[in-house]
Chains A and B, each alone.
Chain A
Amino acid sequence: MLGWELPPHNSGGLGVACYQLCKALAKKGADIEFVLPYSAKHDVEFMKVTAAVPQDVTVVQQAGMAYDSRQYLFSDGHSQSVDIFGQQQLFEHGVDQYMRRTTDTFDVIHAHDWLTFRAALRAKQQTGLPLIVHFHSVERDRAGGGAGNPLVREIEEMALLMADRVIAVSQHTKDMIVQDYDIPASKIAVVHNSIDKEMLEPLEEDSAYAYLTALKAQGYHVITSLSRLALQKNLVNLLYAAKEVIAREPKTVFLIVGNGEQYFELIALSAELGIAKNVVFTGFQRGKKWRDAYAIADLFVMPSISEPFGLTALEAIAYGAPVLMSHQSGVSEVIKNALKVDFWDVHEMANQMVAAMQNASLRQVLHANATQEFDKLSWNQPADLLLGVYQTHTTGAVA
C-alpha cells in the first residue's frame, strides 16, 4: 500500500483514514506493507511500515501543515526545501528504487490519493500487479470547486486510466470522478470511510476552553468548526452566515479550529464583519484541545464546498455535538440525522444555525439520532468491501 502520511506525523485526515483502514484490514488477515515518503517512528504493529526515499536523500523533515514544503537533506550534505509536487516526484523515485531492491512479494498495489499515484504506476510498471487507486479527494475538491492544478489533474487522470480499479470514499467523490475525468462509473467502487472508536480518547471533566465554559454558563452557545483553513472548507461563507446568526443570537461564539492559507484572511474578515468578539481562532490543535473543541460545541459545522468524506462530522457526534454539514459531503450519505445545507446558501446556513441555537430540543434530537447512526459505523464493512475488491483482482486467495 502506498500512502503519504500516518499518525502522528499526519497533517490531516488522509493519514488517519489510511491508518484505521489498514488496521481493520490487518485484523481480517490482510498482510500489508505501507510505504511512506519519509522515515519516522510509527507505533504500528499490524503492518510493516517502509520509507521509500531516493537513495541520495538521507533525511526528510516533515512540515507541520498539509501542502507545506518539506526539507530534504541529501547525502552530499546539502539540504533543499521541496514543495509538494517535488515531493511526490521524489516519492516516485524512492518507490522505483525500493521496488528494485526489496525482496518482499506483493499481490496488489493500493495507492492513496494523487501524491502516491505516480509512484504506484512505477510499481505497477515493474511488477505488473493489479493497481487500485483510492480517491480520498479529487483535485476539484481541493481547489474549492475550481479546476485546480492541471499537473495534478494529469496525474489523477493518468492513474484513473491505468488503474485496474478505483475506490472513491463517497458517492459524492465517485460522481466527481465520473464528471471530471469521464471514467465509467462501473470502474469505481464506493467505500465509505468510517471511524475507529477505540482511537477516540475519552473526555476529561474540565474543558481546555475555560473562557468558553464560563460564557456558556452565562447563556452563550458555541458553534465549532474544525478544519484546514482552506478554500475547500467554505469558511468565508461560514463567517458571512455567522454575522447573521450573531445579529439574531448575540450570545453565540464561533470557535474556528485549524490553520491554513486562509488564516489571516479569516481573522481580518471576522473583524470587517464586526463579529471579531464572537469568533475565536485557536490555530491547529491536537489532543485534549482538539477533543474539547468538539465537546464544548452546541453545534458542529462542516460547510465544505466539497468534502469527499468528512470525518470531523463523525468525531463531533462522538464527542457530543449535533452537526450541520453541507450536502456536498460524503459523510452526508452516511449520517441522515444532521442539519444539511448547500454550501453556497449562506442564508439557509444562518437560518439553520439560528434554529439550533434557539432550540435545545432540536440539538438534542439531532444528536441522539445521529448517535444511533454513528453506533452502527465501523471499519469492518469498508474492510470487507476492499477485501472483495482485492480478491477480484488477484488470483491467489486473500484471507
Chain B
Amino acid sequence: MSKAIVLYLHVHQPYRVRHYTIFDAGVTHDYFDAPYDDRTSNERIIHKVAQKSYLPTNQRLLKLLQQYPEFRLSLSITGTIIDQLERWAPDVLQSFKDLVATGRVEIVAETYHHSLAFFYSRQEFETQVDMHKRKVQEVFGQTPQVFRNTELAYNNDVAYWADQAGYKGILSEGWDKVLDWRSPNYVYRPKYTQNIKLLMKNYKLSDDIAFRFGDQKWAEWPLTASKFSHWLGSTDYATNFNLFMDYETFGEHQWDESGIFTFLEQLPGEWLKTHGHTFMTVSEAIDTFEPVDEIDTPHTVTWADTERDLSAWLGNAMQTSAITNLYALESKLLATGDLALIEDWRRLQTSDHFYYMCTKWFNDGDIHAYFSPYANPYDAFVAFMNAYHDLRFRLIEKGVEL
C-alpha cells in the first residue's frame, strides 16, 4: 500500500496599512506606502522575507525537484503577494515560476486578495477567485483545479460552492471536532456534494514542523527528517499525509538557525528510502484515492488558534465592525468603475488586517503579536478605519451620496 506526503505551502503577504491618520484621509490615498524603514513597510517586509525565506527555500525546493523525480508539492500564492513580488522582488517570482516549470508543483485556487469575502459577499468572492485564477494562468501557465478558502475557512457551504464551481478538490483543517473518530490521512467527500473531494490537514504533523520545530522545550526536539519519516512510515492506517502550512515556515517562522532547511533538504530522501512512499500534489492525491467517508461541517472551521474558528479575525467588535463597514461600501464602490479605488478596497479586505485587530492576547496572542506590524490591535483598527474613511472620501469626490 503506497503512502503519499501531500505537502502544501501557502505563500502570502498582505498590503499592510501604514500609520494612516484622520488627517491623511481626504488628502493622500497612500495607505499601503509606509516609509521603507517603518514596521508597516510592505516593500521592506518583502525584501526581508525574500532573503530569509523565499529565496533560500525555493533554491532548495528546486534542487529537491531536480534530485528526486517523485518529489512534489502544492502551493497557494495570493494575488497580493504576486503583485508585490512583481514590483519589488521579480527574482523571487521567477524562482516560483522555476518551481512550477518542473511540472511537479501545483498551484491551488483561492481569492486574489486573501479575503473573507465568502462570508460577506458571494459576488465579490467569486470575482476575486476568478481574478486569482486568471493571474495564476498568466504568471504560471496553470489553471487551478483544487480550491482553498482564505485561512482554510471551511464549512459545508464553501464545499458546496467549490463543487458547483467545478473544482475537483478542496482543502480544510483536519480538526478533531469535525473528524471525530476519523483520521485526516485519507480523502473524504464533503456532505451535500456530488464530485468534489476533501483533503484535511493533519495539524499534528503539520504543526510539528510549522510551530514546534524550533521549540527546544518540546519533548521531540530536535526533529529530524529521519524521525519524522519514521513517524509517518509507522502509521498503519493512512494513504495521504496532508502537511499544510505557511510557506514562510521555512526561514521566517522557523529561522535558519533552527535547522529547518536541513530538515527540508533531508525529508524527501528519508521518506523515499522506503518502497511505497511517495509525494503527491493535492490533485494527484484526489485523483488517486477514493473518499473513505463523508464529512459534515455545519460550522466554519479554520486553521488558526486553539479555537479553529474565525475568532482570530472576527472575534471582537472592532473586527466585525471594520469588516462589515468595508463590505457595506461594495455596491457604491463597484458602481464607480474606478479600478484604483476598487483595488484599494480589495486590499483592505485581506484577512490579515482583521487579524492585527485581534485582542485574544492570551494563549494565541503571542503568535498574533509576532505577525502584527502594529504596537497593539487598537492602532491597527484606527489605521484601518482611517483608510476606510478615505475610501468614503473618494466616493464623495465622485459625487456618490453616502
Whether A280 pairs with B22 at a CB distance below 8 angstroms is: yes
Can you report 20 A-B residue pairs in the complex whose CB atoms are below 8 A from each other?
A: A208-B23, A210-B27, A211-B390, A211-B393, A218-B396, A264-B376, A268-B318, A268-B359, A268-B378, A271-B316, A271-B318, A272-B317, A276-B318, A276-B325, A277-B325, A277-B385, A277-B388, A280-B22, A281-B382, A282-B22
Q: How far is the CA of A271 from the CA of B316 in the complex (A)?
A: 9
Chain A residues with Cβ below 8 Å from B22 are 209, 211-212, 280-282
Interface members, chain B 382-402 (any A CB < 8 Å): 382, 385-386, 388-390, 392-393, 396-397, 401-402
What is the bound-complex CA distance between A217 and B397, given in angstroms? 11
Question: B401, A271: Cβ atoms under 8 Å?
Answer: no
Counting CB contacts under 8 A, is B118 at the interface? no
Complex Cα spacing A218 to B332, Å: 15
Answer whether residue B170 sits at the interface, using C-beta atoms and an 8 A cutoff: no
Known: A268-B359, A271-B317. A276 touches B322 (CB 8 A): yes
**CB of B26 within 8 A of chain A?**
yes
Given A215-B396, A268-B378, A271-B316, the answer on whether A209 and B385 have CB atoms closer than 8 Å is: no
Q: Mark B1-28, 1 if CB is under 8 A from A, else 0.
A: 0000000000000000000011101110
B279 at the interface (CB under 8 A from A): no
Q: Once the chains are docked, how many angstroms separate the CA of A228 from the CA of B290?
A: 65
Interface size class of A (residues with CB under 8 A): 20 to 34
Smallest distance from the beta carbon of B319 to chain A beta carbons, Å?
8
Main secondary structure of the interface of A (DSSP, over half): helix
Question: What's the Cα separation between A210 and B397 when bound, in Å?
Answer: 11
Task: List A204-251 residues whose CB lies under 8 Å from chain B.
Answer: 208-215, 217-218
For window 267-289 of A, CB contacts with B under 8 Å fall at 267-268, 271-272, 274, 276-277, 280-283, 289
Per the bound structure, the CA–CA distance linking A95 and B17 in Å amounts to 49
The 8 closest A-B pairs by CB, nearest first: A210-B26, A211-B26, A271-B317, A211-B25, A272-B317, A271-B318, A276-B321, A271-B321
> In the bound complex, do residue A276 and residue B385 qualify as a contact, i.e. CB atoms below 8 Å apart?
yes
A218 in contact with B381 (CB, 8 Å): no
Query: A211–B325 Cα gap in the complex (Å)?
Result: 17
Q: Is A263 an interface residue when CB atoms closer than 8 A count as contact? A: yes
CA distance A231 to B318 in the complex (A): 21
A283-B21 Cα distance, complex, nearest whole Å: 9
Q: Which residue numbers of B lie inside 8 Å of A, CB to CB? A: 21-23, 25-27, 316-318, 320-322, 325, 359, 376, 378, 381-382, 385-386, 388-390, 392-393, 396-397, 401-402
CA distance A38 to B221 in the complex (A): 54
| Bound: A381/B389 CA distance, A | 46
The complex places the Cα of A289 from the Cα of B382 at a distance, in Å, of: 17
A208 to B27 CA separation, bound complex (whole angstroms): 9
CA distance A281 to B397 in the complex (A): 23
Residues of B within 8 A of A280 (CB): 22, 385-386, 389
- Residues of chain B within 8 A of A218, CB atoms compared: 396, 401-402
Once the chains bind, are B402 and A215 in contact (CB under 8 Å)?
yes
B378 and A214: CB pair below 8 A? no
16 extra A-B contacts, CB within 8 A, seeds A214-B26, A215-B392, A271-B322: A208-B23, A209-B22, A210-B27, A210-B393, A214-B393, A215-B402, A263-B378, A268-B316, A268-B317, A268-B378, A271-B381, A276-B317, A276-B318, A277-B325, A281-B382, A282-B21
Of A209, A212, A271, A283, most buried by chain B (CB within 10 Å of CB) is A271
Q: How far is the CA of A281 from the CA of B23 in the complex (A)?
A: 11
User: Which residues of the other chain, B, contact A214 by a CB distance below 8 angstroms?
Assistant: 26, 393, 396-397
Smallest beta-carbon distance A215→chain B, Å: 7
Residue contact A267 to B397, C-beta cutoff 8 Å: no
CB distance A267 to B378 under 8 Å?
A: yes
Query: Do B382 and A210 touch across chains, with their CB atoms under 8 A apart?
Result: no
Task: Tell me whether A267 and B381 are in contact (CB under 8 A).
Answer: yes
CB distance from B66 to the nearest CB of A (A): 52
Q: Kindly state the separation between the CA atoms of A280 and B321 in the bound complex, as whole angstroms.
A: 14
Name the residue in A213, A214, A272, A281 with the highest tally of chain B Cβ atoms < 10 Å from its Cβ: A214
Encode contact with B along A309-327: 1 for CB under 8 Å, 0 otherwise.
0000000000000000000
**Cβ of B316 and Cβ of A289 under 8 Å apart?**
no
Query: Judging by beta carbons under 8 Å apart, are B382 and A267 in contact?
Result: yes
Residue of A nearest to B328 (CB): A277
Does the CB pair A211–B392 fall under 8 Å?
yes
**Distance in angstroms between the alpha carbons of A247 and B325 in the assembled complex:** 16
In the bound complex, CA of A208 to CA of B22 (Å)? 9
Residues of B within 8 A of A281 (CB): 22, 382
Across-interface contacts of B322 in A (CB, < 8 A)? 271, 276
Pairwise interchain contact A213-B26, C-beta atoms closer than 8 A: yes
What residues of B have a CB within 8 angstroms of the CB of A210 in the complex? 23, 25-27, 393
Docked CA distance A267–B378 (Å): 7
- Which one of A218, A272, A277 has the greatest number of beta carbons of chain B within 10 Å? A277
Residues of B within 8 A of A274 (CB): 317, 321
A213 — which chain B residues lie within 8 A by C-beta? Answer: 26
The answer for the CA separation of A276 and B319 in the assembled complex, in Å, is 10
Residues of the A chain whose Cβ atoms lie less than 8 Å from the Cβ of B393: 210-211, 214
Interface residues of A in 167-225 (CB under 8 A from B): 208-215, 217-218
Residues of B within 8 A of A268 (CB): 316-318, 359, 378
How many angstroms from the CA of A215 to the CA of B21 in the assembled complex?
Answer: 16
Minimum CB distance partner of A220 in chain B: B402
| Contact partners of A217 in chain B: CB under 8 A | 396
**What chain B residues lie within 8 Å of A211 (beta carbons)?**
22, 25-26, 389-390, 392-393
Contact A209 B321 (CB under 8 A): no
A208 to B402, CA, bound (A): 21
